[in-house]
Structure 1
Amino acid sequence: MIVLTADSASELFNAACQAVLLNGRAVCPRDMVTTEVMGAHLCLTNPRRRLVAIPPARVINPAFAVAEALWILSGSDDPWIFDFNANLRRYADDGVLQGAYGPRIRRWGGGIDQLDAVVRKLSSDRDSRQAVIQIHDPSRDHRGYRDVPCTLGYRFFIRQGRLVMHTSMRSQDLWLGFPYDIFATTLLQELMAGWLGVEVGEYHHHVDSLHLYAENAAAAAECLQHQPEVTEMQPISVAWPHLDAVLTQVLSSGSGLPDGDPWNAFGRVLAGYRAWKAGDRDQARKLAHDTPGPLGTALTAWYDHLTPAALTVGHLS
């Protein structure tokens, strides 16, 4: 069991890499060699510092981070997510990711919006311990689909005027999964805090099997030789009744959203990456340059990371 606390996702990621490399044991689920720690509690004290960046060893694709978070929040399992991470196609059944979180969160059983349920629960009882979002669905997840959610569920608590969030995962690929999962979950936490009119508190990430695949172990070790970059995202909010409308605007490249609005920055990042994928590299770099804050910087770093590799297989492209 490891317990780690950090003020930024970058520092937490580096600490977790070190802990898994030092304390992990070899296991081979599905004949894939991993180094695994059983039982991990990772605490992020400042959830707005959600971007993982340890250049040049670990550079993430912020466009996919944004796209996945919005895909989840919108309740979608539509295949447009493959435009931002083509590698996800290998986990699809009949073109659909059967483990997509969005429909489970926004339309559980075809009709329950769990975000709305949590808002209502904590609005009526600020001290409630029943504000739970369930992800694991035994009626679906034992059918043999390629995509089975790693996340079991989320819990929310208002304590001392702050919203604390706990995530439970049966499994976490530290190298590929953690940087994107923590971006999405802490964005959800911040939005939920806004809907409830409280500050953002600590974020707690509980993992049963925290692991590194053998092919990523050397890169994880390389991270320990570099200083994590610490950046803080601009505060973001939207009124709960307007969430879906704003998400629609962002997914159409932020049209109609004012400059300086963090939702506009999300739209620019998505539009820029679409331009990159379409081959318009100059426009993609211009949009990244014009995107304020850490997201623009991270997207420029991702393009720099991709260029020498010429979009070789293995990147989240």
Structure 2
Amino acid sequence: MIVLTAGSASELFTAACQAVLLNGRTACPRDLTTTEVIGAHLCLTNPRRRFVDVPPVRVINPAFAVAEALWILSGSDSPWIFDYNDRLRAYADDGVLRGAYGPRLRRWDGRLDQLDAVRRQLHEDPESRRGVIQLYDPSRDHRGYRDVPCTLGYRFFIRDGRLIMHTSMRSQDLWLGFPYDIFTTTLIQELMAGWLGVELGEYHHHVDSLHLYADNSQAATASLHGTVGTAELDPIAVPWPDLDVLLQRVISGNTGSGDGPTWDAFGRTLASYRAWKSSERDQARKLAADTPDPLGAALSSWYDHLTSTTVGDPR
């Protein structure tokens, strides 16, 4: 069991890499070798420092981080997410990711918006212990689909005027998955805090199997000597009734200054990456340069990474 606390996602990521490398044992599910720790509790004290950035070793795709978060928040399982991470196609059945979190979050059993249910529960009873969102669905996830949710669920608590969030995961690929998962979960946490009119509290990430695949172990070791970024995103909020309309506007890239700086940065990030994928490289870089840091700087670094490697478009 490992317990780690840090003020930024980057610091938490490198601390977790070190802990897994030092304490992990070999496990080979599906004949894939991993170094694994059973039982991890990772605490992020400043959830706005949600962006993992450890150059030059771990540079993530900020467009996919934003796209996945908005894809989930909007309740979608649509294949447009593949435009931001083509590797996900390998996990789809009939072109659909059957473990997509969005429909489970916003339309459980085709009808229940769990995000709204928790919002209403905590509004009515701020000290409730029933602020639970369930993602793992045994009735679906034992059918043999390629994509099975790693996240079991989320829990929310208001204590001392601050919203605390806990995420439970059955499994976490530390190198590929953690940087994107913590971006999404802390974004959900911050939005929920805004809907409830409370401050943003600590974020807790509980993982049953925290692991590094053998292919990533060398890079994880190198990341311990990288430059750890601790940039903080600007606050983000939207009134609950406006959420879905705003999400669609941001996804399409039609944001403006009236939506707030972070929403505008999200829209610019997605628009820039669409331009990159369409081979409009100068336009992509211009949009990245016009996007406020840390997303703008991270996007420029991602483009530099893509042009300096021949591995395609990894996460």
TM-score normalized by structure 1? 0.98
Give the aligned partner of residue 46 of structure 1.
46
2: CA distance, partners of 1:254 / 1:204: 33
Give the aligned partner of residue 293 of structure 2.
293
Give the aligned residue type for 1:315. Answer: P
Give the aligned partner of residue 315 of structure 1.
314
How far does residue 94 in structure 1 lie from its aligned partner after superposition? 0.1
Against the structure 1 CA distance between its residues 291 and 30, is the aligned structure 2 distance closer, same or farther, given a 3 Å change threshold? same
* Structure 1 spans left out of the alignment, 5+ residues: none
How far does residue 201 in structure 1 lie from its aligned partner after superposition? 0.1
2: CA distance, partners of 1:102 / 1:259: 22
1: CA distance, partners of 2:260 / 2:108: 35
CA deviation profile, 1:237-265 (whole Å, cap 9, x unmatched): 00011000100110110344538621111
Greater shift after overlay, 173-182 or 258-267? Answer: 258-267
Against the structure 1 CA distance between its residues 219 and 314, is the aligned structure 2 distance closer, same or farther, given a 3 Å change threshold? farther
Give the aligned residue type for 1:176. Answer: L
Against the structure 1 CA distance between its residues 141 and 201, is the aligned structure 2 distance closer, same or farther, given a 3 Å change threshold? same
Question: Helix, strand or coil for the counterpart of 1:170?
Answer: strand
CA deviation profile, 1:118-162 (whole Å, cap 9, x unmatched): 010000001000000000000100000000000000000000000
Question: Helix, strand or coil for the counterpart of 2:94?
Answer: coil
2: CA distance, partners of 1:227 / 1:268: 26
Give the aligned partner of residue 64 of structure 1.
64
CA RMSD of aligned residues (A): 1.0
Tell me the percent identity: 73
Question: Helix, strand or coil for the counterpart of 1:293?
Answer: coil
| Equivalent residue pairs, number | 315
List 4+ stretches of structure 1 deviating above 3 A. 255-260
Question: Helix, strand or coil for the counterpart of 1:229?
Answer: coil
Question: Helix, strand or coil for the counterpart of 1:17?
Answer: helix
2: CA distance, partners of 1:313 / 1:253: 24
Question: Helix, strand or coil for the counterpart of 2:258?
Answer: coil
* 2:233 equivalent to 1:233: yes
8 Å Cα contact 2:36-2:210 kept in structure 1: yes
How far does residue 227 in structure 1 lie from its aligned partner after superposition? 2.8
**1:64-143 mapped onto 2 (5 Å cutoff):** 64-143=64-143
8 Å Cα contact 2:168-2:205 kept in structure 1: yes
* 2:180 equivalent to 1:173: no
Question: Helix, strand or coil for the counterpart of 2:202?
Answer: strand
Give the aligned partner of residue 245 of structure 2.
245
Question: Helix, strand or coil for the counterpart of 2:206?
Answer: strand
* 2:166 equivalent to 1:163: no
8 Å Cα contact 2:306-2:313 kept in structure 1: no
How far does residue 49 in structure 1 lie from its aligned partner after superposition? 0.1
Give the aligned partner of residue 32 of structure 2.
32
8 Å Cα contact 1:51-1:231 kept in structure 2: yes
CA deviation profile, 1:48-72 (whole Å, cap 9, x unmatched): 0000011001000000000000000
**1:14-29 mapped onto 2 (5 Å cutoff):** 14-29=14-29
How far does residue 314 in structure 1 lie from its aligned partner after superposition? 6.2
8 Å Cα contact 1:162-1:198 kept in structure 2: yes
How far does residue 185 in structure 1 lie from its aligned partner after superposition? 0.1
8 Å Cα contact 2:154-2:165 kept in structure 1: yes
How far does residue 225 in structure 1 lie from its aligned partner after superposition? 1.2
2: CA distance, partners of 1:258 / 1:195: 19
Question: Helix, strand or coil for the counterpart of 2:14?
Answer: helix
How far does residue 313 in structure 1 lie from its aligned partner after superposition? 3.8
Question: Helix, strand or coil for the counterpart of 1:193?
Answer: helix
Give the aligned partner of residue 148 of structure 2.
148
* Structure 2 spans left out of the alignment, 5+ residues: none
2: CA distance, partners of 1:3 / 1:226: 22
2: CA distance, partners of 1:226 / 1:89: 31
